[in-house]
A and B are shown apart, each in its own frame.
Chain A
């Protein structure tokens, strides 16, 4: 009952945030950049053309009317028209979003696979060599510019060794699998296309590792401190006293109880990865939202930039909401207020 009330409360609280996000993006796109009409008309248009454009674009109306129009369009899935791709922004987003999602999920998978065991080892061998090593590595990971790591990986694995591809999602010559989710690995698996699956995975390796490098550091540190708390507790000491082996106690008892804070951090990591996609996708020419946004910036295509910004924000708060709710539902000790 309390959990349900909590979920309803959180859902209700999301509306003002969503409203705020649209106000902020509206504000950035419509008032900061100066005159959108001049931008739309191009650098050589004369004053009269610009004035006509202002009228047709509704720029002479009061701000709240403009915001109303903007909101109305958003609700109807109209994110504006891309001057660069010459199609509605929503179409572009539909095309590019699955690539970003695929990369993000893949890098989060790597993050969990490496970060959590490293954190557990680090906590279990506190202040030993293994702990010092992971500590330094995670500090480096957090301080490292991901785009730089990406370039170095390209340099080594693509240019030097030539064993991994350096750009794109598939080998040239291969055609994408049937679109089901838009994520090539999943679609290839679903349609049983083994060659495409292999190629897609291989193309994911470098970008995903690059993306994961930063978040591994964050997760490792969080897991470590969370585990240190748990390892001090009575039930873990009891489990050891009963003759439990390291692996069993650590991963069976302790980690399960130390997962809570890590779960929250995974939500933040997701946001971080989405943000980082702008940089990582540029390095690997990965055709996702980030690369799309960077291209849009280069071509002064503001509707596209703002749509990506808003979409990522909405995605980010939704994931955090789901995690918060999970957190509350899983852990009955928490107070719902």
Chain B
């Protein structure tokens, strides 16, 4: 059953350069469609600046979408008034990247965890404490530590507190924006495993945003690859990692260190830098760095098409396998 569906979502920022300056448009998210099932984890990968964080924040309506639709739990929430949006917020939460910046330095942990409940009208203090105490038990924070301030905890502990905060309202979907990239590698797996355990226990759906392909592989059921505001490939995690179709995904995957040094692999090195989203290339946005680009790529915008069963890619050079019933858009 589908929990979240996003249709042709766009997030364009206007930046005005200076007084009397000309306006420029940054297409952070440029026509993204995707869906997430109940209990599923969708990984979003891409280089920094590809728009993956903006995508998460737009879905959460922290940024007002330029166009497109967001359907959550069967309800179109794209243009809900603030008051109605508040009830939806209970069901979709965000876990932040930087555990040092995401907790109010002047609030005690107790107050940080209590605030969501207070905001949503739970006035009984004993009830609130019951919820909080059962949550911190799961994330390995002791009851006595509730009256401490964020700076008294380690990065991993803080991130677990951040996760606990996102769970206080018992949400259905958690959007995790690079939740482990600020942590030491040794701590990353702890937090990832905690997230997996919590997913089972609370039947959560995750949208897991990261630039780190191995982390995404570890936690995701399906993975979407983003480049300059667009999804260029989306597939089940095994399909995507074993059989990448899009040249960009292939390049990304060859850059991932392999545990087996005897295994031969050809590394594809991308030419040039990530183009500016202010002035994206015409045609296929990837053509400036693509090893297989042809003249057509400069003019033709490739659509995201199902090339194999459940495996979609946006590249005109990828030939679709014979499908029983080719579909044009993701449903």
Direct interface between A and B, CB < 8 A: yes
Chain A contacts to B: CB under 8 angstroms? 5, 9, 336-337
Residue of B nearest to A10 (CB): B19
Asked if B295 lies at the interface with its beta carbon under 8 angstroms from chain A, I say no
Q: What 1/0 mask marks residues of chain B from 21 to 47 whose CB sits below 8 Å from any chain A CB? A: 100000000000000000000000000
B21 CB contacts on chain A under 8 angstroms: 337
Asked if B259 lies at the interface with its beta carbon under 8 angstroms from chain A, I say no
B17 CB contacts on chain A under 8 angstroms: 337
Sample of 7 more A-B contacts, CB < 8 Å, known A337-B17, A337-B18: A5-B19, A5-B20, A9-B19, A9-B20, A336-B18, A337-B19, A337-B21
Q: How far is the CA of A165 from the CA of B19 in the complex (A)?
A: 54
Q: How far is the CA of A151 from the CA of B209 in the complex (A)?
A: 71
Nearest CB on B from A81, distance (A):
42
Interface size on B, residues (CB 8 A): 5
Q: How far is the CA of A5 from the CA of B20 in the complex (A)?
A: 9
Chain B contacts to A: CB under 8 angstroms? 17-21
A336 CB contacts on chain B under 8 angstroms: 18
Residue of A nearest to B21 (CB): A337
B19 CB contacts on chain A under 8 angstroms: 5, 9, 337
Q: How far is the CA of A9 from the CA of B21 in the complex (A)?
A: 12
Nearest CB on A from B245, distance (A):
44
Q: Show 9 residue pairs from A and B whose CB-CB distance is below 8 angstroms, ordered by the A residue.
A: A5-B19, A5-B20, A9-B19, A9-B20, A336-B18, A337-B17, A337-B18, A337-B19, A337-B21
Chain B interface, DSSP helix/strand/loop, else mixed? loop
Q: How far is the CA of A9 from the CA of B17 in the complex (A)?
A: 14
Q: How far is the CA of A9 from the CA of B19 in the complex (A)?
A: 8
Q: How far is the CA of A337 from the CA of B20 in the complex (A)?
A: 10
A5 CB contacts on chain B under 8 angstroms: 19-20
List the 6 closest pairs (A to B, CB-CB), nearest first.
A337-B18, A9-B19, A336-B18, A5-B20, A337-B19, A5-B19
Nearest CB on A from B19, distance (A):
5
Residue of A nearest to B16 (CB): A337
Q: How far is the CA of A337 from the CA of B21 in the complex (A)?
A: 10
Q: How far is the CA of A251 from the CA of B186 in the complex (A)?
A: 55
Q: How far is the CA of A336 from the CA of B21 in the complex (A)?
A: 11
Residue of B nearest to A335 (CB): B18
Residue of A nearest to B20 (CB): A5
Nearest CB on B from A88, distance (A):
40
Q: How far is the CA of A336 from the CA of B19 in the complex (A)?
A: 9
Q: How far is the CA of A159 from the CA of B70 in the complex (A)?
A: 85
Nearest CB on B from A16, distance (A):
14
Nearest CB on B from A272, distance (A):
30
B20 CB contacts on chain A under 8 angstroms: 5, 9
Q: How far is the CA of A336 from the CA of B20 in the complex (A)?
A: 12
Q: How far is the CA of A337 from the CA of B15 in the complex (A)?
A: 13
Q: How far is the CA of A9 from the CA of B20 in the complex (A)?
A: 9
B18 CB contacts on chain A under 8 angstroms: 336-337
Q: How far is the CA of A336 from the CA of B18 in the complex (A)?
A: 8
Q: How far is the CA of A5 from the CA of B17 in the complex (A)?
A: 14
Residue of B nearest to A13 (CB): B19
Q: How far is the CA of A307 from the CA of B10 in the complex (A)?
A: 57
Q: How far is the CA of A165 from the CA of B212 in the complex (A)?
A: 80
User: Considering residues B17, B18, B21, which has the most beta carbons from chain A within 10 angstroms of its beta carbon?
Assistant: B18
Nearest CB on A from B239, distance (A):
48
Nearest CB on B from A8, distance (A):
9
Residue of B nearest to A5 (CB): B20
Q: How far is the CA of A250 from the CA of B19 in the complex (A)?
A: 38
Residue of A nearest to B18 (CB): A337
A9 CB contacts on chain B under 8 angstroms: 19-20
A337 CB contacts on chain B under 8 angstroms: 17-19, 21
Q: How far is the CA of A5 from the CA of B18 in the complex (A)?
A: 11
Nearest CB on B from A321, distance (A):
16
Residue of A nearest to B17 (CB): A337
Nearest CB on B from A75, distance (A):
28
Nearest CB on B from A257, distance (A):
26
Nearest CB on B from A275, distance (A):
31
Nearest CB on B from A324, distance (A):
14
Nearest CB on B from A232, distance (A):
29
Nearest CB on A from B236, distance (A):
48
Nearest CB on A from B53, distance (A):
26
Residue of B nearest to A12 (CB): B19
Q: How far is the CA of A337 from the CA of B17 in the complex (A)?
A: 8
Q: How far is the CA of A1 from the CA of B17 in the complex (A)?
A: 16
Q: How far is the CA of A242 from the CA of B20 in the complex (A)?
A: 47
Q: How far is the CA of A5 from the CA of B19 in the complex (A)?
A: 9
Nearest CB on A from B18, distance (A):
4
Q: How far is the CA of A5 from the CA of B21 in the complex (A)?
A: 11
Residue of B nearest to A336 (CB): B18
Q: How far is the CA of A106 from the CA of B222 in the complex (A)?
A: 77
User: Considering residues B17, B19, B20, B21, which has the most beta carbons from chain A within 10 angstroms of its beta carbon?
Assistant: B19
Nearest CB on B from A118, distance (A):
39
Q: How far is the CA of A188 from the CA of B19 in the complex (A)?
A: 48
Q: How far is the CA of A250 from the CA of B75 in the complex (A)?
A: 71
Nearest CB on A from B43, distance (A):
39
Nearest CB on A from B165, distance (A):
38
Q: How far is the CA of A101 from the CA of B17 in the complex (A)?
A: 41
Q: How far is the CA of A336 from the CA of B17 in the complex (A)?
A: 11
Nearest CB on A from B246, distance (A):
39
Q: How far is the CA of A261 from the CA of B313 in the complex (A)?
A: 57
Nearest CB on B from A10, distance (A):
10
Q: How far is the CA of A302 from the CA of B18 in the complex (A)?
A: 43
Nearest CB on A from B74, distance (A):
47
Nearest CB on A from B182, distance (A):
31
Nearest CB on A from B96, distance (A):
30
Nearest CB on A from B15, distance (A):
12
Nearest CB on A from B263, distance (A):
49
Nearest CB on A from B20, distance (A):
7
Nearest CB on B from A337, distance (A):
4
